[in-house]
Structure 1
């Protein structure tokens, strides 16, 4: 019995420490906001929507950015821009009337490129589309892609000097199409320079909430997330950011 006592004590100590260690992991936090990040004006956020755009990649970040007006003094003004003002149809069948076309779009502070059905194919050969992204994305404060929207940013030359990612099962195609890019996998999103690329799908909320926290602070991001019933802790999201 005396020989077993030290072993029992060690096991007891380990058992007592484990819940605390797990608690510390669960409470991991990360500081991404800096006062100098905060915009001094309302930001125009253009969502590039073309036929075949996927609902989740368009709607999730749009929802997040629109709600910033309730949680910060100068929030975001999201709108939809398309090649023309004709109705577009999402991949899932929702019909959308764009706010602007390529010719009358106002100044763009943040350009968001959601994934669309042909982003890895015919969209890459659409010179008007690529030139628009190159021009507007080049002058924007930030650019963001969801899922295969990264292919469009890459074709426009906007990812040449930064780390990036895309939809998990399309990483191989992304590397094959753009062999000179620094591409990462197994992450929700990558923020490098002014570019934020992401895996998309249901994780499309992640890069949007991250950018809200990056620009406006944790309180604003928590407020937006809470209003949409999203559990948000940027420290628990697998990502690559300037702080890592």
Structure 2
């Protein structure tokens, strides 16, 4: 079982602490015994802290409650993934915590920093020469304090090998779903997303601050057009076709799409088509050529190119790794 250690220190952000614990803890195998609601749990989640009575805080540092973590920092040594939630930005990070995080990485663990947990990760030196992000209110201070790290503003999260940094509290959910998808496939991640009534997959490159402008009238929302695109994933659709359905010019369509989703119509549709391909690879025995046509790629070559770029492996390798056993 994949072990996840979520670190708790004095002043840890409550939302950042709870979300990874809940999301990873909700992931179960899709292979269910007859009559069972859930398959076997896929992650063992440990909340690891340096003592009892740790304050858990809200935004601004207001204390909410205190906890006694069930595990000590020494238990980080047994983790496959270590999560550093948002915590007070300080130079006084315990040496034992920094040493434990470095040792976990050297042993092969994946490190995930949520929000300004990136400051602690950067203090280990492991982000030197790497790309990283954090909350938009802290990104300038992060860049000034750690000039040896390539600070990436205005993205939801950055994955640089086994080092993952996220923009803010809610993106902790996004990155957990992203990592579950990497570990156990799209079907498991989608099941977890459904449990939390969450968007199954948001693009890491989506802007942190999407300008959700108040619509001037009921016709400004793109949701009807998005639903139409979902129904026509397998059809050849151009930017002009989408603009025509929305009843606007291509220029207005692009502006509204960026306002409402943080990306372009064609990139949004491409992500949706790749996600559909992931689901079909996991849950059916359809040939790659047929999946390509079903998802609107036209040819298996086009599917392979986009799939490998966005998912990180070819379609058949993905199927071998994540196909759900039937029956």
Tell me which of the two structures has the higher relative contact order, counting C-alpha pairs closer than 8 angstroms and 6 or more residues apart.
1
- Corresponding residue number in structure 1 for 2:46: 79
Displacement after TM superposition at 1:208 (Å): 0.6
Correspondent of 1:213 among 163, 181, 192: 181
Displacement after TM superposition at 1:122 (Å): 3.7
After TM superposition, list the pairs within 5 Å mapping 1:71-220 onto structure 2: 71=30, 75-84=42-51, 86-92=52-58, 93-104=64-75, 107-116=78-87, 118=88, 120-124=89-93, 126-220=94-188
Residue 227, structure 1, aligned to residue 195, structure 2? yes
CA distance in structure 1 between the aligned counterparts of 2:113 and 2:75, rounded to whole angstroms: 22
Displacement after TM superposition at 1:69 (Å): 2.5
CA distance in structure 2 between the aligned counterparts of 1:178 and 1:243, rounded to whole angstroms: 30
Displacement after TM superposition at 1:55 (Å): 1.1
CA distance in structure 2 between the aligned counterparts of 1:138 and 1:236, rounded to whole angstroms: 26
Displacement after TM superposition at 1:238 (Å): 1.9
> So what's the TM-score if we normalise by structure 2?
0.56
Q: Is the 8 A contact 1:108 1:140 kept in 2?
A: no
Q: Is the 8 A contact 2:48 2:76 kept in 1?
A: yes
Displacement after TM superposition at 1:235 (Å): 4.2
Displacement after TM superposition at 1:219 (Å): 0.5
CA distance in structure 1 between the aligned counterparts of 2:13 and 2:99, rounded to whole angstroms: 22
- Residues 127-177 of structure 1: CA deviation (Å, up to 9, x unaligned): 222222222233243110000111111111121242110111111111111
Q: Is the 8 A contact 1:110 1:140 kept in 2?
A: no
Change (3 A) 1:115 1:209: same
Q: Is the 8 A contact 2:74 2:100 kept in 1?
A: no
Unpaired runs of 5+ residues, structure 2, are 31-38, 59-63, 208-307, 311-327
Change (3 A) 1:176 1:76: same
- Residues 80-112 of structure 1: CA deviation (Å, up to 9, x unaligned): 11123x121201312222121124555111000
Q: Is the 8 A contact 1:80 1:98 kept in 2?
A: yes
CA distance in structure 2 between the aligned counterparts of 1:77 and 1:83, rounded to whole angstroms: 19
Secondary structure of 1:168's counterpart equals: coil
CA distance in structure 1 between the aligned counterparts of 2:75 and 2:177, rounded to whole angstroms: 29
- Residues 46-95 of structure 1: CA deviation (Å, up to 9, x unaligned): 001011000111111211100113546561111111123x1212013122
CA RMSD of aligned residues (A): 2.2
CA distance in structure 2 between the aligned counterparts of 1:138 and 1:82, rounded to whole angstroms: 21
After TM superposition, list the pairs within 5 Å mapping 1:49-68 onto structure 2: 49-68=8-27
Unpaired runs of 5+ residues, structure 1, are 1-41
Q: State the number of aligned residues.
A: 197
Change (3 A) 1:243 1:183: farther
CA distance in structure 2 between the aligned counterparts of 1:201 and 1:243, rounded to whole angstroms: 27
> So what's the TM-score if we normalise by structure 1?
0.74
